[in-house]
Structure 1
Amino acid sequence: MVQSLGGSVKVVNVAIKQETEHAKILGISTIPCLRLYGNNNLKSATYKTYESTNVSADEIAHWILRSQNRTVQSLSGTQDAFREVHSRGSPVGPVVDVSVHEGSPRAALIVRLSKNIEQLPSRFTLFKIKYVGSSEREEFRVYRKKLPFDVGEEEYLTLEEPQWEPKSMLALMLEAESRKVYYGDKPSGVLLGKRALLSVYVSRFESLQDIALLLMEFHEAYNDRIAFHITRSSLKEAARSQDTFSHSWGGAVLTDQQANASAYRRVAGVVRELSPFSQYSLSMPFNYHSLKLFLEEWSTGNPELHFRSNHLTYTKKESSVLELNHHQFLDVLNRAKRAPFAVLYYEPNCADCQAYL
């Protein structure tokens, strides 16, 4: 990722646990430790240490590019050495592609923006500043961040206003950050607004393109109420999926910004939720029909909505209702001393449910 954006990096893995003397030589007290040696010499006393607690590819790549002064690149119209990969979006963040006249007020404004990354909608924003001749037209474009799937969004947005102002530029950059389907880190509160967030946790065996196209089936109907989001496939997300769905092959979690006050409600004498609950989950494998029903139930304000496909519940006399996944349910049936009595609830006229039964 760093190399494709014009930077250079050589990765060296030092196994501190096996080679404890290396820790003393390098002065490392805690691991993991990520250092960047600008002179390619591990024995050098000059290096930068990665201080952030967020160990993600985007964070690390942006840190390296910023350390190498690659987040902002400029060139005159006569130079052809600039890497053309910058003329499109990057996997790190959006790319501001600008053509300006050298020494003009617009050029000064762009340079000022590029030096105030923390004030931008995305601090991962990369800048490509090209100085063109006075006879050529000045242009301001924002290329969207590259995603591992395509949902038919515009590749870039252009500032059409004759007057370039910081307010209109930031508005365009924020619009470029607003996606039909988000990927990776959860979108910020500015991008979410008052919408709920539907996050899909997928295993590495799932096709991100298929999941994105499935979510797009509901984009038009729910875009004003729900933001769609696909998480990265990582060990961290797999562990979270295991905790949420009792398996590692994923599912969807709908997080509503309004707590479910009806979660205290008792059903047949059993408290279904111990506290106001704002998350509703749907286990994978889900498809168009199960997701459609899930969203319809949520939009009607169903206070009991917290179901997972292929998940079942059972109860014993004077005990709480327990939620089971498919394997746990089979275990309950197999270990019963008497013939168990099971009631299966499913949506009428649901072909997928019939096939599953």
Structure 2
Amino acid sequence: MISTRKKVLSFVITVAALLILFLFAVNTGSLKVSVAELFRGLFIEYDSNVATIFDLRFPRIFIAMLGGAATAVSGVLLQAVMKNPLADPGIIGVSSGASLTAVLITAFFPAMYFFTPILAFIGGMIAFLLVYSLSWKGGLSPLRIILVGVAVNAMCTGLMNAFNSATGSNYSGVASFVNANITQKTWDDFQTLAVYTLIGLVASFFVTGQCNLLALEDKTARSLGVNVTRSRIVISVVAVLLASISTAVVGAISFLGLIVPHIARLLVGSNHKVLVPYSIILGAFTLLLADTLGRTVASPYEISAAVVMSVVGGPFFIVLLRRSKKNYGG
């Protein structure tokens, strides 16, 4: 049992770390301003350096934070639905399904670009239903979920890479979804992401109680009057919405929805009423950290946040598999 003091301390430290990282990310690049200059330029009087930073860096930073929060909460909800601690929107193919839909719209129906988030959600939902149905065999096996998810993810990623090659790796189009590139994102992209993400995050607070009940055995939950099937569907829709909308704007980020929930559980416990809000903060911090590292490690060149997360997440996933007390071969 994790004490209330540790939970509060975890929230305070993570919020402080996010604020410090935000200020560091703002000053990562050729233009640098002090905190006082930033505050003055934003709220008191015009400053050309602050205006440039506001137009170029702020959208990227806020998109990384919102995208990280959405993906992290999506991972929390999917793990609750599937009762599988290894479930992640990237690993099980939800993100790649949404990405593939966004790629198809960008490549063949550019006039429908405004509807990309909704269509990406439909693509992510189809991928999720495909994985869920193919994994079901008298019950859900964690091994089958991962194997089917990897297969669906590989298929969608292969199709995306094919379209990427066909379009000449144009970062303003198809490749931005394939490589999770957020370099050229604008305030318009942020507004699109913010509207749908906030809806999904608010909805996630309303299903935290159902997530806690799904942790019980299905028979036990039903005996308490819970409609298990309906709860799974509702939570799944919210999870896929968050993952798909994030993917439609940020791109597919593997392992973020796996790493953040596990770290969050170690710090604040498994009660979803606390786990979900903490995962929002930690998810925002994690993706912003990955993006900031990608901007600084090989400066003046950039490494995609998706690549940074894959390098970190791959070993984390292996360690998690080896340390798990469950037998995932059953």
Q: TM-score, normalised by structure 1?
A: 0.22
Q: Which has the higher contact order (CA 8 A, sep 6+)?
A: 2
Name the one with the larger strand percent: 1
TM-score (norm 2): 0.23
